[in-house]
Amino acid sequence: MRRPLKKKTVNCSKRLGLSYPLSILPPKMAKLLLADNCQGQIHLVVGLEHLSLCFARIKSILEVGATPVLVSPQKTTLLNSLQDLRTQGTLEVVDQTFNISHLTQLGRDEVDNVVDKVFVVLDSQYGQLKKDISDQCKKLRIPVSVVDSPELCSFTLLSTYANADFQLGVTTNGKGCKLASRIKRELVSTLPSNIDKVCENIGNLRHRIQQEDKDQLQEIYNRLQLLGEDEDDAVQTFRLNQLVEEFNMTKEQKKLQRTRWLSQLVEYYPLGKLAEVSVDDLSAAYRESSSKAENAQNGILNPAKKGSISLVGAGPGAVSLLTLGALSEIYSADLILADKLVPTQVLDLIPRGTEVFIARKFPGNAEAAQQELLSKGLAALDAGKKVIRLKQGDPYIFGRGGEEYLFFKSHGYKPLVLPGITSALAAPVLSQIPATHRDVADQVLICTGTGRRGALPNIPEFVKSRTSVFLMALHRIVELLPVLFEKGWDPKVPAAIVERASCPDQRVIRTTLENVGLAVQEFGSRPPGLLVVGYSCGIIEKLEKKWEVVEGWDDIGGSTILDTVSHLSK
Ligand code: SAH
């Protein structure tokens, strides 16, 4: 017996960023988007007048490795271009009036001669023929596309962009192909121009690491294959971002380090830079960092003290949330030491000639990567450079800013420290949570879900009138929640998971504390993210369901700010 489908509780109108209720303009059911492997298939094109359209279709059939067969129902003069393809033997032309039996005669032997796909390129005067072809295709389960007749199509083509292995497809679900094409162009313009190299490099690295670490990974892949070869990104991210205790790693975890690091690089690094990552970067990170750190600690580097250093808060991500001081430091630096949390929007502001080093802090390597970063900074300072240590959010909120200050000071370089907007305070604002609110919340607590050396932290008391913000907590939420409840936290208190706050892919999941663990499992993780807990979460947005997901954030006048910035930099 069929079970009734479960109703999704995601609030669609908000998720899609619509400002009107969905009932006025109900969206069509979403389509399943596929990357269809057409290699070796036979695609039938039924065409008559629109031969240039037929030619475009035939070209794209050839591009995906299928064989086009053109049936022209009446004697027609073929375009030269089509004639050329026919002469080369890449296009078969069936010079007959179309017959429905062609559908089951012109295909490959191994599928009983049923053609694999049908493209009908006929105009409105052939209404009946188009309908007959469509009906018959649907009966025979042959995917069919009929030009200008969406009701007769079993699939539609996307507006696509391809650059080697990278492919992008856009559909507006029939709302307009011109619009889809425009959206595609805009999306493409935001991609780094070396996106092909990015895919190639990451693919090669994955392959190489998988080969080299095969034995260790075998067990995990067996598990992955049970789930389907390419595990859902969100699930994978969730898994790979689970806590690794650096000082307590099992042998297996150590061997898996490179896979984790690669996964984190893909998650955090500016896209364009992924084309340059090498397997040595992953393998050598630990070795290099330990010896460099030792050298730095032992004072082997040039003792001449000339350069200058500042610890600068970069804010949570959006350009509009960067301070003018931070911007000015970014423009005047010789070397910028950033970390993976500093998002692309901010890194993109760094002038082209400025050297940038992004800390290689990945699970199980944080300590060594920190030492590597410090010794890089010290070497540059000794060489008389202006070094900017760019830190996500505010440098003194869980960013080891104090330690870094003391390190550089002990080596004779007293840093200038510039505050930044901390994610802990920006995230609530960006998710409609007033952290303090009369009669509801009279205090704010910023705390962590991860204690020293990966242990559980001190768990704060539950205070009804407090908004608590937990950083570095989502990856271990399942472990953390029972401890909170044991300490008397109210399971029904409103809560919000805020991820990538102020970035274009910001996501807010509003729920109650008891459902936070389930929500992380259901939606996966999109790091970095934090948890806000307190009755203030229910002041502006009232939760009427188990949870509610709101996607996206547009930087206020993001492009205007960038224009101003580029104007200032001239
Ligand atoms: N100094 C930083 C915090 C560093 S600790 C600040 O003031 O914001 C790193 C943690 O900060 C992450 O694990 C995450 O919990 C949180 N975080 C940083 N940036 C974030 C963002 N844009 N959105 C949500 N959480 C963020």
- Same domain? For 408 and 432 the reply is no
Instruction: Indicate the number of domains in the chain.
Output: 4
Say if 536 falls within a structural domain: yes
- Return the ligand 1 atom nearest residue 424 CA: 8
Q: What is the pLDDT of residue 302?
A: 43
Q: Is the CB of 315 under 6 A from ligand 1?
A: no
Q: Is the CB of 498 under 6 A from ligand 1?
A: yes
- Return the ligand 1 atom nearest residue 395 CA: 1
Q: Is the CB of 422 under 6 A from ligand 1?
A: yes
pTM of the model: 0.62
Q: Is the CB of 316 under 6 A from ligand 1?
A: yes
Q: Is the CB of 399 under 6 A from ligand 1?
A: yes
Residue 189: Cβ-neighbour burial (10 angstroms; 0-12, 13-18, 19+): exposed
The long-range contacts involving 181-184, CB below 8 angstroms and separated by at least 24 positions, are 183/159, 184/159, 184/160
Mutation test residue for ligand 1: of 321, 346, 398, 551, the one with most atoms within 8 Å of CB: 398
- Same domain? For 325 and 219 the reply is no
Mutation test residue for ligand 1: of 471, 497, 551, the one with most atoms within 8 Å of CB: 471
- Same domain? For 332 and 387 the reply is yes
CATH number of 522's domain? 3.30.950.10
Query: Whose CA is closest to atom 2 on ligand 1?
Result: 393
Query: Whose CA is closest to atom 15 on ligand 1?
Result: 471
Q: Which residue range(s) make up the domain with 84?
A: 42-157
Mutation test residue for ligand 1: of 320, 341, 551, the one with most atoms within 8 Å of CB: 341
Say if 343 falls within a structural domain: yes
- Return the ligand 1 atom nearest residue 422 CA: 7
Q: What is the pLDDT of residue 195?
A: 95
Say if 483 falls within a structural domain: yes
- Same domain? For 202 and 288 the reply is yes
Say if 367 falls within a structural domain: yes
Q: Is the CB of 525 under 6 A from ligand 1?
A: no
Domain boundary (365, 387, 421) is at 421
Say if 491 falls within a structural domain: yes
- Same domain? For 208 and 137 the reply is no
Best CA proximity match to 303, nearest among 386, 409, 379: 379
Best CA proximity match to 468, nearest among 450, 485, 499, 489: 489
Q: Is the CB of 472 under 6 A from ligand 1?
A: yes
Q: List, in order, residues 6 or more apart from 410 with CB less than 8 Å away.
A: none
Q: What is the pLDDT of residue 248?
A: 53
Domain boundary (297, 323, 344) is at 297
Rounded to whole angstroms, how far apart are CA atoms 529 and 469?
11
- The CA 471 to ligand 1 mean position distance, Å, reads 6
- The CA 538 to ligand 1 mean position distance, Å, reads 22
Say if 12 falls within a structural domain: no
Mutation test residue for ligand 1: of 392, 498, 499, 509, the one with most atoms within 8 Å of CB: 392
- Same domain? For 405 and 515 the reply is no
- The CA 268 to ligand 1 mean position distance, Å, reads 13
Element (H, E) at 366: helix 366-382
- The CA 180 to ligand 1 mean position distance, Å, reads 35
Give the Å distances, CA to CA, from 105 to 35, 69, 89, 92, 101: 26, 12, 19, 14, 6
- The CA 414 to ligand 1 mean position distance, Å, reads 25
Q: Is the CB of 398 under 6 A from ligand 1?
A: yes
Q: What is the pLDDT of residue 11?
A: 46
- The CA 399 to ligand 1 mean position distance, Å, reads 9
Rounded to whole angstroms, how far apart are CA atoms 212 and 526?
28
Mutation test residue for ligand 1: of 267, 530, 532, 551, the one with most atoms within 8 Å of CB: 530
- Same domain? For 414 and 454 the reply is no
Whether the CB-CB separation of 436 and 442 falls below 8 Å is answered with yes
Mutation test residue for ligand 1: of 237, 243, 344, 423, the one with most atoms within 8 Å of CB: 423
- Same domain? For 415 and 450 the reply is no
Alpha helices in 411-476 (DSSP H): 423-430
- Same domain? For 328 and 393 the reply is yes
Best CA proximity match to 520, nearest among 486, 485, 541, 496: 496
Given a cut of 70, the residues of the chain with pLDDT beneath it are 1-27, 73-78, 214-256, 283-305, 363, 557-559, 562, 565-570
Q: Which residue's structure tokens are 């009369």?
A: 438
- The CA 427 to ligand 1 mean position distance, Å, reads 9
Say if 222 falls within a structural domain: yes
Q: Classify 46 as helix, strand or coil.
A: strand
- Same domain? For 262 and 338 the reply is no
- The CA 500 to ligand 1 mean position distance, Å, reads 8
- The CA 423 to ligand 1 mean position distance, Å, reads 5
Rounded to whole angstroms, how far apart are CA atoms 193 and 191?
6
Task: Pull the structure tokens for residue 504.
Answer: 């274009």
CATH number of 342's domain? 3.40.1010.10
Q: Is the CB of 427 under 6 A from ligand 1?
A: yes
- The CA 529 to ligand 1 mean position distance, Å, reads 6
- Return the ligand 1 atom nearest residue 530 CA: 15
Q: Is the CB of 267 under 6 A from ligand 1?
A: no
- Same domain? For 291 and 329 the reply is no
Q: Is the CB of 401 under 6 A from ligand 1?
A: no
- Same domain? For 382 and 481 the reply is no
Say if 373 falls within a structural domain: yes
Q: What is the pLDDT of residue 426?
A: 98
Q: Is the CB of 471 under 6 A from ligand 1?
A: yes
Residue type, 513: L
